[in-house]
């Protein structure tokens, strides 16, 4: 019985990290686009009169479509389609969480933005954990081989898929503790080796190559560094507003006043959320300004590392508290921080990766 139970435990998919990351990305993009659209169109109501078709309903419908797609078909593209449906559907659904946690059905309740952001971070955390899952155990390798073998039924294999399948078969053949799986790998390997291989589509090759040549010509290292420095300086200076707020919170000057959500704070009051957000913003601002200085001095590795740390601190923590204070501001902050993070990661890939 114990052996049977051990052989029925969950097995991580080889593409789990990519799929869950896609869920996180589509979730985040959906929430941002939805909030921007509603703000620009003055929050229209679909249905009118007695009925209102809230976008949470469309989110639930997409979640149902994603689940049924995963249950109905076995193609390799199903995981991508399911991830998109789940990401967009959950984004539309969770975006209206304020209506579900308040008695007055308040979409704009301050607690909604931190909850939405925490869900996003939770999904992103699952993607990170999925990347660290052990994929070298015999059962996991056997499942991976079974999933990848679906490509054999669809015709010629792509070179990358064939190489991945042969790599898994080679690894599976080394696990002598499971002679049944070793025999499975030995029987399937000749089939994979004999399978026809297709050439990758050539239409995208000139486009990708052209984009890389244009990037190399138009964005050399010094230009890329300047963009990264300017972005770090701007975001760092904006984030240092948090330091000013902290100083104002502890100031004894009666003329110093803090206005939050069109209301002036009482002298001596220090809302914990505001303290946490301000302190976090101050730390992020210092990190980004130091990163900009390091990049200006030619310390590229240190600069990129500090820049990424500052942005990850903002994205993974500070924005949760900031969202409670100003939901619209946190959307703008997330977009700007993610854009700078992409620029920093691209700089690291182009110039700092061995």
Domain spans of the chain?
10-131, 138-194, 207-352
Helix, strand, coil percentages, rounded to 5, for the chain: 70, 0, 25
* 242: confidence class by pLDDT, cuts 50, 70, 90: confident
Q: What pLDDT does residue 192 have?
A: 93
Residue 214 exposure: Cα atoms within 13 Å on the Cβ side? 6
Which 3-state string (H, E, C) describes 77-143?
CHHHHHHHHHHHHHHHHHCCHHHHHCCCCCCCCCCHHHHHHHHHHHHHHHHHHHHCCCCCCHHHHHH
Q: Is the pTM of this model over 0.85?
A: no
Q: What pLDDT does residue 1 have?
A: 39
Q: What pLDDT does residue 251 have?
A: 72
Q: What pLDDT does residue 49 have?
A: 66
Asked whether the predicted pLDDT for residue 20 surpasses 90, the reply is yes
Neighbours of 158 (CB within 10 A): 14
- Alpha-carbon distance of 177 to 169, in angstroms, equals 15
Asked whether the predicted pLDDT for residue 204 surpasses 60, the reply is no
Higher pLDDT, 287 or 265: 287
What's the mean per-residue pLDDT of the chain? 87
């Amino acid at each position: 019985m114990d052996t049977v139970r051990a052989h029925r435990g969950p097995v991580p998919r080889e593409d789990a990290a990519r799929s869950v990351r896609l869920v996180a990305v589509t979730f985040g993009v959906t929430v941002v686009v939805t909030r921007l659209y509603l703000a620009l169109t003055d929050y229209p109501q679909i249905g009118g009169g007695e009925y209102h078709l809230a976008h949470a309903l469309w989110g639930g419908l997409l979640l149902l479509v994603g689940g049924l797609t995963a249950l109905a078909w076995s193609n390799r593209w199903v995981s991508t389609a399911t991830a998109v449906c789940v990401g967009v559907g959950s984004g539309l659904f969770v975006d209206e969480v304020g209506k579900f946690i308040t008695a007055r059905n308040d979409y704009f309740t301050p607690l909604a933005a931190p909850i939405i952001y925490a869900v996003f971070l939770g999904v992103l955390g699952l993607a990170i954990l999925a990347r660290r899952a052990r994929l070298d155990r015999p059962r996991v390798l056997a499942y991976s081989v079974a999933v990848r073998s679906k490509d054999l039924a669809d015709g010629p294999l792509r070179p990358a898929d064939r190489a991945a399948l042969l790599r898994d078969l080679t690894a599976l053949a080394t696990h002598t503790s499971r002679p049944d799986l070793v025999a499975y790998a030995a029987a399937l390997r000749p089939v994979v080796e004999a399978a026809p291989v297709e050439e990758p589509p050539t239409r995208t090759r000139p486009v990708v190559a052209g984009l890389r040549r244009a990037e190399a010509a138009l964005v050399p290292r010094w230009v890329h560094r300047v963009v990264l420095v300017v972005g770090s300086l701007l975001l760092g200076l904006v984030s240092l507003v948090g330091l000013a707020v902290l100083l104002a919170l502890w100031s004894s000057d009666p003329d110093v006043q803090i206005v939050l959500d069109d209301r002036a704070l009482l002298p001596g009051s220090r809302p914990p959320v505001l303290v946490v957000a301000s302190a976090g913003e101050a730390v992020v601002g210092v990190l980004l300004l130091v990163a900009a200085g390091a990049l200006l001095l030619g310390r590229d590795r240190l600069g990129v590392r500090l820049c990424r740390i500052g942005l990850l601190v903002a994205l993974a923590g500070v924005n949760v508290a900031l969202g409670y204070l100003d939901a619209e501001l946190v959307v703008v902050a997330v977009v700007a921080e993610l854009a700078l993070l992409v620029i920093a990661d691209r700089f690291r890939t182009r110039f700092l990766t061995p």
